[in-house]
């Protein structure tokens, strides 16, 4: 498993931690893209930002550090892979920082929850800004529409952890040497969500979002899994070493 660098941006802490009003109002957040080598080709979990979104982030004052080199295609090139090596893409959800790179992989099967796909087309106004229709409405996308948990391949199991959005799914990864890793995506932006039992502030349904955190905790206890938060900058830049693959 490689953790690829999809760039970073400034985001409001209150959008990440429900009810958080003390401390820093904003913090830099990291955009991970995960790549897995499997017996059925390479699999991605999320695809990062589309380059087209960067001017909007500048305009919103989010100070994006998202260059061409942070696109899914350029990040894969750095580990010696062409887009055609990717056979499957699992999407945690369809927010633009996760679905933005879909356009580069027209041949891959794309796994998404049906409730996410339906909602993304007609989101509530308060979440509409996070969905870019053009990133997920290309006619040639090879959707594999899911309804609940799923075993994508041995060692890659999706867990419905909705609440942040209607169809958010986390990914339980089992690696030969590292064992189980739980990739939380935006059900747990920061380790703080997990530690304080607080769902994201940017949330479609806070009750379900809290249950999702608890489901992650149960899984972590059962599997002895390592826990990767969705966007925490310090985690991805200091806590783990993303210059090396996890084996």
Which positions touch Zn ion (CB under 5 A)? 97, 186
Residue 36: CA atoms inside 13 Å, Cβ hemisphere, count?
Answer: 25
- We find the least distance from the C-beta atom of residue 40 to Zn ion, in angstroms, to be 27
What phi and psi values does residue 63 have, to the nearest 5 degrees? 45, 60
CB of 141 to Zn ion, least distance (A): 20
Which is nearer to Zn ion, 56 or 218 (by Cβ)?
Answer: 56
Strands 109-113 and 86-90, bridge-based pairing: parallel
> Which of 186, 232 has the CB closer to Zn ion?
186
**DSSP tag of 65:** B
- Of 2 and 200, CB closest to Zn ion: 200
Q: Is 61 or 80 the residue whose CB approaches Zn ion more closely?
A: 61
Question: What gap in Å lies between CA 62 and CA 12, rounded to an integer?
Answer: 9
Sheet holding 2-12, edge to edge: 2-12, 26-38, 41-45, 86-90, 109-113, 142-146
Q: Is 224 exposed, middle or buried (0-12, 13-18, 19+ CB in 10 A)?
A: exposed
Shortest Å distance, C-beta 225 to Zn ion: 21
CB of 176 to Zn ion, least distance (A): 29
| Alpha carbon of residue 141 to chain centroid | 19
Pick 28 or 41: Cβ nearer Zn ion: 28
Q: How far is the CB of 202 from Zn ion (least distance, A)?
A: 9
């Amino acid at each position: 498993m490689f953790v690829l660098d999809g760039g970073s941006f400034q985001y409001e802490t209150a959008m990440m931690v429900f009810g958080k009003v003390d401390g820093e109002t904003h913090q830099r957040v990291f955009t991970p893209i995960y790549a897995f080598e499997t017996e059925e080709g390479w699999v991605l979990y999320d695809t990062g930002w589309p380059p087209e979104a960067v001017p909007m982030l500048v305009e919103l004052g989010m100070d994006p550090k998202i260059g061409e080199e942070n696109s899914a295609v350029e990040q894969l090139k750095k580990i010696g892979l062409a887009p055609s090596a990717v056979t499957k893409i699992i999407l945690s959800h369809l927010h633009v920082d996760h679905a933005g790179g879909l356009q580069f992989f027209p041949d891959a099967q794309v796994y998404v929850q049906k409730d996410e796909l339906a909602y993304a087309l007609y989101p509530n106004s308060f979440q509409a800004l996070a969905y870019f229709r053009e990133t997920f409405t290309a006619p040639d996308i090879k959707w594999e529409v899911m309804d609940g948990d799923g075993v994508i391949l041995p060692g890659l199991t999706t867990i419905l952890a909705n609440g942040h959005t209607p169809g958010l799914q986390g990914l339980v990864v089992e690696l030969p040497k590292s064992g189980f890793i739980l990739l939380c995506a935006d059900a747990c932006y920061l380790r703080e969500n997990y530690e304080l039992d607080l769902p994201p502030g940017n949330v479609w349904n806070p009750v379900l979002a809290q249950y999702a955190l608890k489901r992650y905790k149960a899984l972590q206890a059962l599997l002895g899994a390592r826990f990767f938060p969705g966007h925490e900058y310090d985690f991805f830049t200091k806590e783990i070493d993303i210059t090396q693959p996890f084996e």
